[in-house]
Amino acid sequence: MPPRPRLPRVVLVALFLTLSGAALEAQDFERGLSAARAGDFPTALAEWLPLAEQGDVLAQYNLGLMYGNGDGVPQDQAAAAKWLHLAADQGHALAQFNLGLRYAQGNGVPQDHAEAAKWYRLAAEVGDASAQINLGVMYGIGQGVPQDYAESAKWTRLAAEQGVALAQFNLGQGYSHGKGVPQDHTEAAKWYRLASEQGDAVAQITLGAMYAMGQGVPQDYVEAAKWTRLAAEQGHALAQYSLGLKYAIGQGVPQDYVAAVKWFRLAAEQGDALAQSNLGWMYAKGEGVPMNYGAAHMWSNIASANGDQEAANLRDAVAKQMSQDDISKAQRMASTCLSSGYQDCGG
Q: With a cut of 50, list the residues of the chain below it in pLDDT.
A: 1-25
Q: Which amino acid is at 189?
A: A
105/133 Cα distance (integer angstroms): 16
φ, ψ (nearest 5 deg) of residue 270: -105, 5
Q: What would the pLDDT profile of 98-140 be if each residue is shown by its tens digit?
A: 999 999 999 999 999 999 999 999 999 999 999 999 999 999 9
What is the residue-averaged pLDDT of the chain? 92
Q: What pLDDT is attached to residue 322?
A: 96
Q: Are 282 and 261 spatial neighbours (Cβ–Cβ below 8 Å)? A: yes
Q: Are 224 and 209 spatial neighbours (Cβ–Cβ below 8 Å)? A: yes
Q: What would the pLDDT profile of 283-335 be if each residue is shown by its tens digit?
A: 999 999 999 999 999 999 999 999 998 999 999 999 999 999 999 999 999 99
Q: Is the C-alpha dihedral spanning 318, 319, 321, 326 positive or negative? A: positive
Q: Are 227 and 253 spatial neighbours (Cβ–Cβ below 8 Å)? A: no
132/152 Cα distance (integer angstroms): 9
91/66 Cα distance (integer angstroms): 20
Q: What pLDDT is attached to residue 27?
A: 59
Number of H helices, E strands in the chain: 18, 0
Q: Are 204 and 239 spatial neighbours (Cβ–Cβ below 8 Å)? A: yes
Cα→Cα distances 319→16, 326, 332, Å: 57, 9, 14
Q: What pLDDT is attached to residue 346?
A: 78
Q: What pLDDT is attached to residue 19?
A: 39
157/176 Cα distance (integer angstroms): 14
